Structures are given as C-alpha cells and as structure tokens.
Structure 1
C-alpha cells in the first residue's frame, strides 16, 4: 500500500500536527458542487504548524494525484514532496491527496479533494435556413450553437459573433439566433461575413469559424418579347395567330427559380403554368411573374395582346451588343451605347435593361443613329446589360446580345497569388502534358485562371471554379527549348491576382540509354547469331 509509509508519528514535546490547505490559481471554475481547472492551473499547498505559540515548524508537505478510471482511483503521480506549485497534465476526474509533517514528527491526517481537468474548448456550428449557394433572404434564419467538448467538460461557455469584423452578439450557455432583416440590424443587400466561436468558463477557446452570405431582397425581372409578327398600336400590342410569347427572367442575385404565367383572368378558368418555352396565346390577357431561389417574387405583370389576322409593319433589327465598360465599382456612373436600323426607316427608340431590375427608354431617334445612356449600380454583382428597339408603331426588336458587367464594392479583394503550377518539368515536343493550378479568394468568390505557357500562347481565361479547387490544364509545345509556366487568377468581379512563381520546363527531355542485364544478354545472343548463322 502506498500509504503504509505515511502514518501518524508523534515525538515528545509538540504534539499537534500541521494543518495543510490547498489553493487553485487561474483558470478555475466552480458550480458550487464541483471544481474545474486546466492543465495550466497552478495548485498551491500551504501548511501551518500548531500550537501557534510554540510550534516546532513544518518539516515537509507531501501530495499525490490519482485519476478515476471508471471503476477505481488509479495512482497517476505517487507521493511527492511539495516544493513548488504543481499542475495536473491529464484531463478528466482527479483526486489530490496531501498532508504535512512538523519537526516534532507530528503528521496530519491525509486530506483529499476531487477536481476536474478540462483542456478541450467548445465546438460551435452554424445552421442557416434557405441559403442556396450562400444567398439568403430577409426570412433566412441563422442559428449558432455550441457544445462544450472533452471527456470532462466544464459545460459552461460563451458564444461570440462578429459580422463584417464588427461585434454583433455574445451569449452565455445559449444559442445566437437572428435573421437578415431590419429587426436584427440588416438594412442593405450585400455580402455579410459571419465569424463565430465559443470560449468555456476556463478560457478554452476554439478556432474561429467564418461563413460568408449574400443578402438578396431583389426579385427577378421578367420581360416579354414576341417570336413572330407584332406591333404596338394605340397603347397595346397586336400579334398574329402564329406569334409566340417569349418570357425572359433575369436575377442579379441568387438566380431565377421559376417563371409562371396564366392565360386569361382567374374567372375565365385560366390555370397557372410553369414557363418552359415560348407559347402561342389562346386568350388576349396574359399574366406572369418570376421568383428567385431565396423566395423573392416580383409583382404580377399583365400583358394585353390583340390577336389579328395580319401585321405588315416589321420591327427594327436587333440592336448591336451594348458597348461600354464591363466592370466597375458601385456608386459610379458608366455610359453605354448601341444602334440599329428599322426596315421601313422609321424612327426608333431603345430600352436599356440594366440587369438589376431597372430599365429606361430613350427618346425616338432616326434609324441608324447611335444612342447612349448612363447607369449607376448600387449593389455589387454580375449584371447583363441588353437593349431592344421599338419603332413608332410599337414593333419591338429582339433583345441584343447582352454585355456582362461586373460591379464590385471598392473594397473587393483579388484572389491570392496562385501556387506555382505543378506537373512535368521536361518532356518531348508535340506531346500533351497535364499541369495543376490552384489558389483561393479571400471572400470565397469563384475564380478564373489564365495560364501563360511561356511559348507565346496562353490558355485564355478558364472558369469559373470554386475557391480552393485544384484544376487540371493541358498543353503541348511544338518547338524545342526552355519555357516558364506561370498562372494568374481573377474573381468573378474582375479583381486579378499577381502572377504565380514560374515553373521552369525544358523540351525536349534529355534521353539516356540504359541497358539492363537482360537486354545486354539479348544483344550478345543477336551478335552470336549474326556471326554464326
């Protein structure tokens, strides 16, 4: 028994043993019933000898540490003389035993106290409802929860939450719950980075987590056009019986989920249908609307068409693709221009659709004249600027080819410098070789890659790819020589990284002749056969 050497012995004179007390340093936590510390917490033993008026003095203090193994106490550190504060290195349930002896050989009874050691931080997680591709609406609910980790957790913790690097909330032993609306302080569409973590009451802090979401409260915009004869007469459309109605929905945020339409008023028995392709109307009143992937639904649009036997007026030709800057910053004004002609030479006006739910008509101008309009985008995103033309009789052209415009916040960060391309460093000309490239974007935006092969050619912009996704690219060189392969990246908003470090390669690969024992034997045999056929 490890206690056999620790029995009470009393010498002549002083017959009162010392009294030893224990003291914990920080970090320390108690719930009133049990105590918790970490392996960094210092433990002091303080001994006082009695009688106080004539003590012989404390000779030594001893302690040992036991650990509960589920069935019994096992000795983790045997009896040791106390000389300085000590710690308990392992986690979970422990017992500290201790006593002191004075110079008169008086030994106090062994004291003990149990304590839990917890070095494991809590583990937090986030759950968001209705967040396709990390887009959220005003009813999307964020729930941040935490569970204290380890075998013997202290079980009491605080969750912290920062949004866009600013303090948002902290709770103690509760969940953090909020929605992306004005009630919780979210008043503008845009990107929000949620950083969260938990710290238990012993100071064990977990690694910080970060998720980025884009608040989208703008519904899609659905426009109509006609596939077949049509014209604008007396404030309404005329179409022929074979003319089809084309519905086109655009959304600058989460994307269009569906477009629905109905022919006729509700009391006319019309049923809502999912739009999948152009259709020939059977009634003159058409209603339609679209909804995006986070539930933003546009107001119902009413289109009245008069179906007539024949229409002679021809619409203007499709306008040219709008020209102008295809990237920029929120809040800045940008100018775009286009033109077209009308088959009958009539004056035309143009409708610019900016891709953000807004659009506007120009005044009527002569057929063939160039028109310009300016626009300011207030939210970052990818937009399609397109134009259609209308003659004085109301006949509309097809939509022009769209111009993709990337608008970024002025503080948008480019992708990180890509890793050096990985792949073969030598080879033969006219043989295709595979290389891998990768980088990340600070905001998690999708990424395009441009590979410079060092031979005067490049890959063109490839993508987009997810941030951190490794991609494979192939190339073959047609001329011998040494080359430097390098890569750069840009995000979907146009911000470009610097070039990667180059990967040097040579073409062709140097060849060396290596003969194995087997091949040498075959050569020798062949030589013998040639000499002695």
Structure 2
C-alpha cells in the first residue's frame, strides 16, 4: 500500500508596526511533544504531499483556490477515506485564535481606593499569572511607566509615586493578549499633624480660656485617623473641633499627637509642652496715710490714698482694674484718692493675668465699705467753780475745774488740753480736740 504524506505549509503574516507601547508578535505554528499541530487561526493552510517521510513535498492544487482558510478558533480535521479499512484517516489542525489571559495580584501592602484612584502602602509586590486554553502560554511581558516591555520578573515598587503598570502574555502561536494596564500610587509618606493653641503666652502658658485644636494633612492617600493624649493618658481619637483640657490640674502638661493615613503610614509622635495656669492673681490693698478701723468700717481722711498690688504665680499680671461706687472699671496705674466728699464709699478691684485669669467674678479682694472723714470734731468746755470773764480771758479760782468735751459724727481718737498754770491766775491758752486724722 502506498503511503500518502500530507505536508502543511504555513505562510506567516506580519502586522505592520504601530506607534503603540505593545510590540507586534509574529503569528506562527507550534508542535507539542505529542505531535499535535497548532497554528495561529488566521494563518492560511497549504497542502503538500510526498511518498516518503523525507521526500520532496509537492503542493496540491485546489480546483478553485491555492490556499485553505480555517474557520476560526478550534480543532479542524482533514480526512482521507480509506476503502481498505473502511474508515477515514484524519489529520487534525489546532487553530489557536484566542490569546492568553493574564491576571495580576497586588499583595503584601495596605490598599485604599478613593474614587477611581488606587493607593498602596509599604511592601507592595505584584505577581502576574497567565493561562491559555489551547497552545499554551509562551511568555508574559510587563513595563513600568512607559518603559520598554521586558519578560516578566517580580517588579519593584519601592519608591513613592504614581505608577502605570502594563502587562500582557503571548501564546505559542503568536496570539498576543490585549494590553492590560493598572494605574496606582505608592504612598510611603506619613501624614503631618499640627497643633494650634489660641491664647498662649510666649512662655507656653495657657488658661482655661485657651482653645486647642489639631489640623492634619496628607498629600496622597489622605488622613485616616488622628490620635492625641495629655501626659500619660491613653490615646484618644481626635474627631475635630476643640480639644477639652479644662479638667487638667494647674501646672505643667504635655500634649502628644499623631496621625495615620489610609495605607497605615504612621506619623512620628509629636508633642507640645505647656503650663496650664488656672490660678487667678492674688491682690492686696494698702492704705497710704490715715486710717482707722471700727468694726467692719475703714475710715480714711482726705489725705489718704489707696494702693493696689497684684501678684501672679506664673503668667504675670496683665492689668489691674478698679471701680469706686459702682462706676465703670478703670485701669489702675498709681495709688489714688477716694472721692472728695464725706461718707461711705465702696471700692472693688480685680486683676487679669496674661492668660486672662482674673479675680473679678467673686470680688475676693473688694475692700467693701470705706468711710471718708473730711471734717474735724466739734469741741466744748465748761467751768465748774468761780469764774470771771474779761475780754477774751476767763479768770478762775484754784478751786475751779475745767471740763473739755469733743463730738464727732464719725470717730474721735483723743482730746488734748493745754494750759498754763499760775498761782494767782489760770489762763486757758488753747483747747485742742483732734480726731483720728489730726483735724484741729
């Protein structure tokens, strides 16, 4: 029996080079280890025969055309009817018209999707795996940020920045997968957090009226969370707005804070030391001149001044304010006289320190009632015994006694009398009565 050897002659075709990132791959044939014949599905088929395996093939001429076109992807068969064996000799062609499919796996790094923007954190690794349903995967190629395509090897994304990652695979018959692209950003930088103290002295002293808040920024994936604490407290989640601190004790404190972005980059902890001054200034009032106390009343003369003094434990005195008889408060600069009229006066005063602590609320240092005495006492005298008046002189006997009395609506300190005695005549030269403040 003669043997008919069928030879397939495949004419490769080439695509014209395009101005594209993805290179052109030649369409071709492939014979596997089992002898199966694969060719790219769009290639034409030519039949050639020979009488020996190594004989010179002779092309067969079809009646209507010179080449055979396969009908697309799949297994195609050429059959020879064998009348001896009452069957068919079948020659199969595996026409491969489908490119491989490549999958990418982005692993080992935190990921965050913001709208259409993909972010990855530290440690990113990318693995490509491809499958082909017929002739099998020949090679996988990739390119980073528009570079020339190279055979796949684990890429490095150790630098922060925006990336365009292109990849595709080819099979053994030259089918090239449509280019796949992943765009993403590697974020390796932690956020920045800033503290704000509204109402703080140059010595970092604050009061309960101070406002504390935080602001934060992140140029890539964005801030996810911010935490803060005072001293050795547990960290608390900052939710915006003013940070409550008024519960802290008077004294030195430390605010510690940090932020974490959406791919878990953690900021190095920052801190701010400050002194919380919750103590109002201490005030005292000093009397410069005449004064006298009777019960709860303080008596001043017209020559008396009031001196105010304020001291503060930390931030220092900003101003001292005073008011007389419920008049508007005015700033204290120097010791001052009380109003030039007799009677009761009420003095109130307070001090502000440089963190706005003040003594105004409770008037703890209000002087209260002050009586200004501008008139001396009224004096009187009587003679008890023989007397004789001549002109402005009163003559008395040795047995005559003199009684001197004083009357003051406010207060009398002492009554002084001065006399010159003579055996024959007692001449009352001067009778002086003085109140506390020396009115004569």
TM norm structure 1: 0.49
Are 1:31 and 2:114 counterparts? yes
The question of whether the paired residues in 2 share the 8 Å contact of 1:10 and 1:107 is answered with: no
Could you tell me how far apart the structure 1 residues matched to 2:282 and 2:180 are? 78
- The alignment partner of 2:347 has SS state of strand
Alignment of 1:414-453 (within 5 A): none
**CA offset digits 1:174-212 (Å, max 9, x no partner):** 53532323xxxx253222211112121112233322112
CA contact (8 A) 1:222 1:289 kept: yes
Give the match for residue 157 of structure 1. Answer: 224
Task: Describe how 1:122-137 pairs up with structure 2 within 5 A.
Answer: 122-132=191-201, 133-137=203-207
Q: What is the CA–CA distance in structure 2 between the aligned matches of 1:115 and 1:261, rounded to whole Å? A: 68
Match of 1:63 in 2: 142
Larger radius of gyration: 2
Corresponding residue number in structure 2 for 1:213: 274
- What does residue 147 of structure 1 align with? 217
Q: Distance in 2 between matches of 1:39 and 1:10?
A: 43
The equivalences for 1:43-442 within 5 A come to: 43-51=126-134, 56=136, 58-66=137-145, 75=146, 77-87=147-157, 89-92=159-162, 94-132=163-201, 133-149=203-219, 153-171=220-238, 175=240, 177-181=242-246, 186-264=247-325, 266=326, 270-282=327-339, 284-298=345-359, 299-300=362-363, 301-308=366-373
Name the CA shift for 1:271/1:88 in 2 (closer, same or farther; >3 Å). closer
Give the CA deviation at 1:297.
Answer: 2.3
Distance 2:373 2:143 in 1: 102
User: What is the SS of the residue equivalent to 1:129?
Assistant: strand
CA RMSD of aligned residues (A): 2.9
Residues 110 and 121 in structure 2, CA contact (< 8 A), matched pair in contact too: yes
Q: Report the CA distance shift for 1:306/1:43 in structure 2 as closer, same or farther (over 3 A).
A: same
State whether residues 140 and 179 of structure 1, in contact with CA within 8 Å, keep that contact through their aligned partners in structure 2: no
Question: Does the aligned pair in 1 maintain the 2:22–2:179 contact within 8 Å?
Answer: no
Q: 1:9 to 1:86 in 2, by over 3 A?
A: farther
Q: CA deviation at 1:87?
A: 1.7
The 1:209/1:30 distance shift into structure 2, 3 A limit, reads: same
Work out the CA distance in 2 between the residues paired with 1:48 and 1:297. Answer: 79
Deviation, structure 1 residue 161: 1.0
Identify if the C-alpha distance between structure 1 residues 252 and 8 changes in structure 2 by more than 3 Å, giving closer, same or farther: farther
Q: State how far apart, in whole Å, the 2-side matches of 1:180 and 1:3 are.
A: 60
Match of residue 416 from structure 2? none
Indicate whether 1:9 and 2:56 are aligned. Answer: no
For the structure 1 residues 163 and 120, does the alpha-carbon distance in structure 2 shift closer, same or farther, using more than 3 Å as the test?
same
1:41 corresponds to which of 124, 131, 153: 124
CA distance in 1, matches of 2:291, 2:375: 9
- 2:103 aligns to what? 21
**Counterparts of 1:121 and 1:24, CA distance in 2:** 21
Is contact 1:24-1:42 (8 Å) kept?
yes
Cα–Cα, structure 1 residues 80 and 175, in superposed 2: closer, same or farther, change >3 Å?
A: farther
Q: CA deviation at 1:4?
A: 6.3
- Relative to 1, partners in 2 of residues 1:8 and 1:50: Cα closer, same or farther, differing over 3 Å? farther
Distance apart, 1:90 and its partner CA: 4.5
Instruction: Could you tell me which runs of 5 or more consecutive residues in structure 1 were left unpaired when the two chains were aligned.
Output: 67-74, 312-533
CA contact (8 A) 1:170 1:176 kept: no
Secondary structure of 1:218's match? coil
Question: What per-residue deviation string (whole Å, max 9, x for no partner) do you get for residues 61-82 of structure 1?
Answer: 211112xxxxxxxx3x321221
> Aligned partners of 2:22 and 2:142: how far apart in 1?
14
Give unmatched runs, 5+ long, in structure 2.
1-18, 31-37, 39-93, 377-440
Distance 1:232 1:8 in 2: 117
- For the 8 Å contact 1:35–1:115, the answer to whether it is kept is yes
